[in-house]
């Protein structure tokens, strides 16, 4: 069956539906979004935990204490999300719970914004509510979105800013330059939180210039660019104070040093890029997204503006996917930024497939079946993670560290422990991945880096009263069992303390 007639009919009846039915559809969507928000909030306070939250939250903690990223400590990320968290910490205190609540609300906001787009702009009126609810599930119950969105990293913030920039760009195409400036502001802010969203701004700008109306398109271009630069004012200011440090953290580390001492990075990337084949959610969204893309390109050609809006989702999906795939190494969670825009294409694909199989009038069955698959996929993932480490587990580790470590002594621990204990890390230990680097001494000092070699020497010399680690390789390499008289195993981590026995230095041939 060719679904094109349904599309043609939808254009003819656009805006002709009863206002009451539209309000009811919006009320249903809002209700579903509120339920999703409640679930995200509960998850954010119970199971939500990512190891890499540690250095992000430590950075926010240090900023709240008056230190500067790059200049005073190593932080190889764009800084806007850290500043955001720091400001909330100043208001509510330095804890992870408030940060998680805010991130969960941002994820829920992004999900509702993109679902409301489908509800208002999907070209087939009788399918709008079903498509919007499917959209809500595709994005809001995506496993990566749920597991990594409501945490202290920039995922939730970037999702919200990217979708908000998308929605404002659509407004700017029909209205004045101020909406374009707002779109640029949000797109720039997304990149200011994480460079993984960098393609969003140029894709939106190109689309806006192409689809913008009248002579104002160049004013819109200028407004968009000006708005996109505003979120980078903190970076420009820091660059003026320390150009080498800023360049190293934002550009050089990401381009060169992320894969240092990772011999299996290429194999890891291949595994990540093929992981969608083993995920029911990803496979379903991917196949429906392909079907939706084909439909938009080949069939929905009768209305330039409407088709252009859905094509924008295609270009955002393609650009973000290609860009994130080139990160070396890349990770599955990075692709959650693609979820809102791929989900729009997937809803179109769901409509196309459902019309061919069941007819245009059957909405409930295909939408319900699709949402069930997505929900079950998320449920399975959360069930598999039921015994994973949480913040509550790390609090037990931090409590033990606090019990055995004098306040005036030096502590070697994960960033998570420094954050929970509100202890400033020793210089060079704010970002543990930097220990893998082996730079000239002058550069290590400038960038606030301590190499593994230097760190091992400090541990063996007995400079730390306590060492906490969850990495068995680190424990073995540093010979912590030989150095410290006391230890305590908590979860998968070990805390060492007591008067350290300094080990003899090794000769050049490795002998003692």
How does pLDDT run across 296-309, given as a tens digit for each residue?
887 655 566 678 89
Q: Is 247 among the domain residues?
A: yes
Q: What is the largest CA-CA distance in the chain?
A: 86
Per-residue pLDDT at 491:
85
Per-residue pLDDT at 504:
55
Could you give the dihedral angle defined by the CA atoms of residues 161, 162, 163 and 169, in that order, rounded to the nearest 10 degrees?
100
Same domain, 330 and 470: no
Per-residue pLDDT at 304:
63
Per-residue pLDDT at 500:
65
Q: Is 508 among the domain residues?
A: no
Nearest CA to 428 out of 458, 466, 465 is that of 458
Per-residue pLDDT at 317:
97
Same domain, 99 and 205: yes
Per-residue pLDDT at 54:
95
Q: How far apart are CA 27 and CA 21, in angstroms?
A: 10
In the structure encoding, which two tokens stand for residue 440, read together? 């000239």
Same domain, 415 and 363: no
Same domain, 370 and 256: yes
Q: How far apart are CA 75 and CA 447, in angstroms?
A: 9
Q: Is 502 among the domain residues?
A: no
The number of angstroms, rounded, from the C-alpha of 28 to the middle of its chain's C-alpha atoms is 28
Same domain, 125 and 174: yes
Q: Which domain holds residue 406?
A: 391-497
Per-residue pLDDT at 228:
97
Same domain, 335 and 479: no
In the structure encoding, which two tokens stand for residue 424, read together? 């400033």
Per-residue pLDDT at 11:
33
Regions of the chain where pLDDT drops below 70 = 1-20, 213-215, 261, 299-305, 500-512
Same domain, 111 and 214: yes
Domain count of the fold of the chain: 2
Q: What angle do CA 281, 283, 288 make, to 5 degrees?
A: 95
Q: Is 183 among the domain residues?
A: yes
287-309: burial string, b at 16+ Cβ within 10 Å, e else = ebbebbbebbeeebeeeeebbeb
DSSP letters for 92-117 = H-S-HHHHHHHHHHHHHHHHHHHHHH
The predicted model scores a pTM of 0.91
Same domain, 399 and 354: no
Contact 283, 276 (CB under 8 A): yes
Same domain, 404 and 379: no
Q: Is 182 among the domain residues?
A: yes
Contact 362, 354 (CB under 8 A): yes
Q: Is 505 among the domain residues?
A: no
Helices (H) and strands (E) in the chain, counts: 25, 4
> Domain end: 334, 356, 384, which one?
384
Same domain, 349 and 419: no
Residues contacting residue 231 through CB under 8 Å, at least 6 positions apart:
80, 185, 188, 189, 191, 192
In the structure encoding, which two tokens stand for residue 293, read together? 């893309």
Pairing label, strands 411-412, 466-469:
parallel
In the structure encoding, which two tokens stand for residue 312, read together? 């924008």
> Domain end: 328, 357, 384, which one?
384
Contact 227, 182 (CB under 8 A): yes
Q: How far apart are CA 4 and CA 126, in angstroms?
A: 15
Q: How far apart are CA 495 and CA 488, in angstroms?
A: 5
Same domain, 204 and 229: yes
Same domain, 362 and 439: no
Q: Is 259 among the domain residues?
A: yes
């Amino acid at each position: 069956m060719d679904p094109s007639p349904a599309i043609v009919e939808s254009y003819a009846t656009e805006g002709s539906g009863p206002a009451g039915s539209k309000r009811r559809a919006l009320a249903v969507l809002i209700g579903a979004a509120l339920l999703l928000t409640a679930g995200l909030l509960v998850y954010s306070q119970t199971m939500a935990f990512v190891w890499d939250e540690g250095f992000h939250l430590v950075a926010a903690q240090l900023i709240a204490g008056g230190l500067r990223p790059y200049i005073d400590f190593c932080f190889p990320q764009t800084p806007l999300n850290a500043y955001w968290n720091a400001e909330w910490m100043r208001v509510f205190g330095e804890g992870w719970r408030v940060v998680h609540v805010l991130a969960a609300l941002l994820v829920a906001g992004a999900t509702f914004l993109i679902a409301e787009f489908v509800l208002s702009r999907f070209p087939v009126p009788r399918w709008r509510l079903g498509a919007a609810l499917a959209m809500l599930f595709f994005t809001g119950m995506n496993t990566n979105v749920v597991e990594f969105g409501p945490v202290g990293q920039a995922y939730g913030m970037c999702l919200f800013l990217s979708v908000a920039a998308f929605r404002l760009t659509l407004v700017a195409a029909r209205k004045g330059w101020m909406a374009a400036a707002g779109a640029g502001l949000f797109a720039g802010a997304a990149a200011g939180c994480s460079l993984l969203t960098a393609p969003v701004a140029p894709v939106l700008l190109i689309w806006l210039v192409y689809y913008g109306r009248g002579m104002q398109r160049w004013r819109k271009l200028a407004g968009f660019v000006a708005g996109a630069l505003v979120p980078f004012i903190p970076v420009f200011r820091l660059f003026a104070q320390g150009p080498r440090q800023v360049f190293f953290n934002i550009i050089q580390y990401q381009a060169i040093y992320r894969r240092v001492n990772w011999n299996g990075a290429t194999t890891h990337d291949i595994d990540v890029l093929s992981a969608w084949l083993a995920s029911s959610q990803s496979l379903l969204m991917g196949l429906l997204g392909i079907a939706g893309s084909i439909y938009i390109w080949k069939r929905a050609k009768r209305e330039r503006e409407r088709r252009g809006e859905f094509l924008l989702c295609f270009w955002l999906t393609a650009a973000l996917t290609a860009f994130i795939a080139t990160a070396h190494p890349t990770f599955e969670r990075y692709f959650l930024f693609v979820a809102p825009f791929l989900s729009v294409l997937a809803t179109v694909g769901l409509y196309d497939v459902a019309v061919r199989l069941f007819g245009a009038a059957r909405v409930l069955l295909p939408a319900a079946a699709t949402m069930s698959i997505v929900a079950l996929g998320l449920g399975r993932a959360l069930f598999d993670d039921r015994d994973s480490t949480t913040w509550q587990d790390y609090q037990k580790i931090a409590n033990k560290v606090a019990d055995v470590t004098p306040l005036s002594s030096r502590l070697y621990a994960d960033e998570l422990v420094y954050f929970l204990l509100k202890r400033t890390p020793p210089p060079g230990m704010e970002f543990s991945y930097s220990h893998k680097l082996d730079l000239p001494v002058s550069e290590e000092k400038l960038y606030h880096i301590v190499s593994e070699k230097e760190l091992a020497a400090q541990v063996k010399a007995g400079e730390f009263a306590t060492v906490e680690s969850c990495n068995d390789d680190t424990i073995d390499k540093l010979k912590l069992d030989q150095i410290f008289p006391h230890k305590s195993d908590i979860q998968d981590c070990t805390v060492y303390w007591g008067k350290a026995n300094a080990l003899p230095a090794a000769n050049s041939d490795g002998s003692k």
